[in-house]
Amino acid sequence: MRERLEEWRERFRRPLLFCARRDFALLPKVRDLELTLTRLLEEAPEELSEALRRRLGELVRGIDSLEPEEKKERIKRILELSEDLAGPEPEEEFPAYPDPDLLKRFREELRTPVQFLRGVGPKLAARLATRGIHTIEDLLYFLPKSYEDRRRYTPIRELRAGGKAVVKGEVVLSGPVQFRRRRIYEVVLSDGTGLLTLKWFHFRESHLRETFRIGKTVIVSGEVSRFGGRFEMVHPEVEDPEAPGLELHVGRILPVYPPVEGVSPKVLRRIVREAVERHADKLVSYIPPEILRRRRLLPLSEAVRGLHFPPDDADLSALNAERSVYHKSLAFDEFFFLELALGLRRSRVKQAPGIAFRTASALVERFLARLPFRLTRAQERAFEEIKRDMAKPFPMNRLLQGDVGCGKTVVAFLAALIAIDNGYQVALMAPTEILAEQHYAGFRELCGLAGVETALLTGGLPPSRKREVKQALALGQVHLVIGTHALFQEDVEFKRLGLVVIDEQHRFGVLQRAALRDKAKGVSPDTLVMTATPIPRTLALTIYGDLEVSLIDELPAGRKPVRTELFTEASRHLAYEKARQEARRGHRVYVVLPLIEESEKMDLLSATEWAEHLRKEVFSEFRVGLLHGRMSPPEKERVMRAFKRGDYQILVSTTVIEVGVDVPEATVMIIEHAERFGLSQLHQLRGRVGRSDRQSYCFLVAHGVSPGGEAWRRLRVLTETNDGFRIAEEDLKIRGPGEFLGTRQHGYLEFRRADLVRDYEMLLAAREEAFRLLEEDPALARPEHQPLKEILSERWAERLRLSEVA
């Protein structure tokens, strides 16, 4: 076999060696090199690796029409590449499904420090490190920010001002000139069709003199402008047509990289090429080829190769819009493995043994009869969906999604009652102590109506009380426990945990969800996740890829949409005036300020000082309460209670009231420094008012923001819509998913390149394909899917706790 390859190599190289003889003396006489080489390539035995075949093909294409110098370079390159065709070591070949050892070696090689790449020494490596490029893999993923068209030389006569161009011409003038009291360096080029002036305002004269000797041919590229009737380029990039490696910088679509300090673009391109040539093929991802074919996408290694050095016929505008097939392929690759991981989790959870609850419940009937209102249709529908899940002998994994105030709590409570009626316990987890406390207060009323035992368990409780609650839980005396992360600490034991309700799940992340589920030994409890944050569909698909979704898309009848208005510091007195009127009618007012760090106190209002000011100057006829982050839980509780009862009419607060508080009498919310909040966060806050049939108001005071400016326009969205989903989409566009969700929990949503908003289509495609694959092979057990598992475990196992692939 090897011999056949050897033999072919000899035949393939013969015409090339002929061309190269006597320093290419015969080259001008050679015709039809492309045709000859293309035919030979077609005859190559199968042992020739796909990668090599492709690369040789690329180099051969168009070779006849190259300038002599370029042609020489190209021939040298082909000879170089074809030298060890067989790959003296078999590692140069890439079998369709390599054994895990080979993959592992690839991975290790990709993680080699970039310093060991040819052409990179310690100094250069240190500079690359400032850009986060430490390994060869990092360099491969260091992608161009844009692309420049340097495919052809433009005749000077055809230049246009305003565009970029590459010109090849002869130096006819070269030297410093006086220009408006400045010395500048000027070169005039001629290409036979016209004259082009080159200008330098900063220069080293000896260097330019040498580069632009009169009579020399040079290639320059840059932005073309018109000055005094002649075309010119200021500080152009210069290439010497004689220089080796020229084809890297001209005659192609040029990758433009983000700047790296101390590394010139040319050097950067050279080392990236080195990395791509030698290592891109090691980026294997093994997405089944039929999937890629169906979606018209490329394998990872080719995508990366194309991103750095797109072929001449690539679509330049698609490249610059980051929508080329290479960009798409890379995004698809990232999403595919995430979705595969989520799909695996989902099918695993679905198949695990769960509790089949009896869902006809007298407890539920009794409770509903006592409830002072009727469920909305959306609430009923969500409850039906939950009941169907609970009846199945598999664990429920459902997301209950709906805008603030739509009544998720009642629905979750109904699910809890079913579990309790079946003799199980329920745990409700809130993201903060104050929210746990508020839930507890709210649920206690509901529990009273239903006659079930409830308890609070948070880190802030006195140790003796904690012990009591833990004991009661272990004995099964508490039916419903409400708490924070303290609930899944090691020493909390349940007698019979049947349902876990998680409020505001995105603050916990997938991992904690699993941890709490593990609390029920043996059988997995059902899980219901409530989120008041309207998660854009894009994100829901990724974060909650393993959950079914119930949506409550209707508010209880009689609610009036909150009226939202925007103010500046100069006009804010109007907002406070309106608030005063509302308070006089017996309604309650929130004034919200951002939480501030010591270091930025300078130009921000502090809650304490502002409360003092309001007490004296604005709301002197009312009682003003203050709630802030540094207060102890019992203190907060006391203030909240007092506000709820009406002992305070005004509550000045940092964002601790962000979610969950229920004070129906509150009709005004003033938010100071609104510019510092995310739109979704503001929408959440606004949900604290408008919880009754009275008209409510939300007044946003933006500081240092000029009406009409960007920040102002962003805030305007809130005055225009009450649709939390639309607001969330806007937020996602502006701030990105990490910001949107709080980066802390979302390390696992970091992609190398993919972007949840821009590449949304690819996300959907990846999800479809990943789920389809899992339908055929639910545990990825087939031998041809083993490499997928390998990669999954490398990329996602840790982040998503996929024990079965790890």
Site residues, ligand ADP (CB under 6 A): 373-376, 379, 402, 404-410, 532, 556, 662, 691
Please say which residue, 170 or 665, places its beta carbon nearer to ligand ADP.
Answer: 665
End-to-end Cα separation, the chain, in angstroms: 38
Residue 295: name its binding partner from ligand ADP, Mg ion, none (Cβ under 5 to 8 Å by kind).
none
Please say which residue, 42 or 445, places its beta carbon nearer to Mg ion.
Answer: 445
Residue 724: name its binding partner from ligand ADP, Mg ion, none (Cβ under 5 to 8 Å by kind).
none
Task: Report which of 137, 92, 93 is spatially closest to residue 114, judged by C-alpha positions.
Answer: 137
Using a 10 angstrom Cβ sphere, with 0-12 exposed, 13-18 middle and 19 or more buried, the burial of residue 620 is exposed
Please say which residue, 227 or 373, places its beta carbon nearer to ligand ADP.
Answer: 373
The token pair at 554 is 């209707």
Residue 49 engages Mg ion in binding (rule: CB under 5 A): no
Q: Give the interface size with Mg ion as a residue count (CB under 5 A).
A: 2
Residue 533 engages Mg ion in binding (rule: CB under 5 A): no
Please say which residue, 410 or 492, places its beta carbon nearer to ligand ADP.
Answer: 410
Please say which residue, 365 or 569, places its beta carbon nearer to ligand ADP.
Answer: 365
Residue 534: name its binding partner from Mg ion, ligand ADP, none (Cβ under 5 to 8 Å by kind).
none
Residue 430: name its binding partner from Mg ion, ligand ADP, none (Cβ under 5 to 8 Å by kind).
none
What's the Cα-to-Cα distance from 29 to each of 37, 68, 87, rounded to whole Å? 16, 11, 33
Instruction: Give min distance, CB of 654 to Mg ion, in A.
Output: 20
Residue 485: name its binding partner from Mg ion, ligand ADP, none (Cβ under 5 to 8 Å by kind).
none
Helix, strand, or coil (residue 361): coil
Residues forming a β-bridge with 482: 428, 456
Please say which residue, 409 or 680, places its beta carbon nearer to ligand ADP.
Answer: 409
Where does residue 211 fall: left (phi above 0), alpha (psi -120 to 50 degrees), or beta otherwise? alpha
Distance CA 645, CA 661 (A): 13
Instruction: Give min distance, CB of 473 to ligand ADP, in A.
Output: 25
- The helix (H) or strand (E) run that includes residue 499 is strand 497-503
Instruction: Give min distance, CB of 409 to Mg ion, in A.
Output: 5
Residue 438 engages Mg ion in binding (rule: CB under 5 A): no
Instruction: Give min distance, CB of 412 to ligand ADP, in A.
Output: 8
The token pair at 775 is 């339908």
Instruction: Give min distance, CB of 762 to Mg ion, in A.
Output: 34
Residue 301 engages Mg ion in binding (rule: CB under 5 A): no
Which positions from 162 to 201 touch Mg ion by CB under 5 A, shown as an x/- string?
----------------------------------------
| Binding positions for Mg ion, 461-490, rule CB under 5 A | none
Residue 376: name its binding partner from Mg ion, ligand ADP, none (Cβ under 5 to 8 Å by kind).
ligand ADP
Instruction: Give min distance, CB of 414 to ligand ADP, in A.
Output: 11
Residues forming a β-bridge with 455: 481
The token pair at 107 is 């991975």
Instruction: Give min distance, CB of 454 to ligand ADP, in A.
Output: 16
Residue 691: name its binding partner from Mg ion, ligand ADP, none (Cβ under 5 to 8 Å by kind).
ligand ADP
| Binding positions for Mg ion, 382-411, rule CB under 5 A | 409
What amino acid is encoded at 284 in this protein? V
Helix, strand, or coil (residue 197): strand
Distance CA 253, CA 312 (A): 6
Residue 531 engages Mg ion in binding (rule: CB under 5 A): no
DSSP summary character for residue 135: B
What's the Cα-to-Cα distance from 688 to each of 246, 328, 530, 590, 681, rounded to whole Å? 65, 42, 17, 9, 12
Distance CA 13, CA 36 (A): 11
The token pair at 607 is 């809650």
What's the Cα-to-Cα distance from 344 to each of 395, 510, 761, 789, rounded to whole Å? 15, 14, 21, 11
Please say which residue, 217 or 721, places its beta carbon nearer to ligand ADP.
Answer: 721
| Binding positions for Mg ion, 602-661, rule CB under 5 A | 660
Task: Report which of 703, 687, 697 is spatially closest to residue 610, judged by C-alpha positions.
Answer: 703
E strands, 96-202, are: 146-150, 164-179, 182-190, 195-200
Instruction: Give min distance, CB of 709 to ligand ADP, in A.
Output: 32
**Distant-in-sequence, close-in-space partners of 81: CB < 8 Å, separation ≥ 6:** 52, 55, 56, 59
Residue 400: name its binding partner from Mg ion, ligand ADP, none (Cβ under 5 to 8 Å by kind).
none
Instruction: Give min distance, CB of 676 to ligand ADP, in A.
Output: 24
Residue 406: name its binding partner from Mg ion, ligand ADP, none (Cβ under 5 to 8 Å by kind).
ligand ADP
Torsion, CA 50, CA 56, CA 59, CA 63, rounded to 10 = -130
- The helix (H) or strand (E) run that includes residue 51 is helix 50-60
Residue 156: name its binding partner from ligand ADP, Mg ion, none (Cβ under 5 to 8 Å by kind).
none
Task: Note whether 172 and 156 are within 8 A (CB).
Answer: no
Instruction: Give min distance, CB of 680 to ligand ADP, in A.
Output: 14
Instruction: Give min distance, CB of 691 to ligand ADP, in A.
Output: 5
- Which single residue brings its beta carbon nearest to ligand ADP? 407
Residue 684 engages Mg ion in binding (rule: CB under 5 A): no
Instruction: Give min distance, CB of 405 to ligand ADP, in A.
Output: 5
What amino acid is encoded at 470 in this protein? K
Residue 404: name its binding partner from Mg ion, ligand ADP, none (Cβ under 5 to 8 Å by kind).
ligand ADP
**Distant-in-sequence, close-in-space partners of 631: CB < 8 Å, separation ≥ 6:** 639
Q: Which residues bind Mg ion (CB under 5 A)?
A: 409, 660
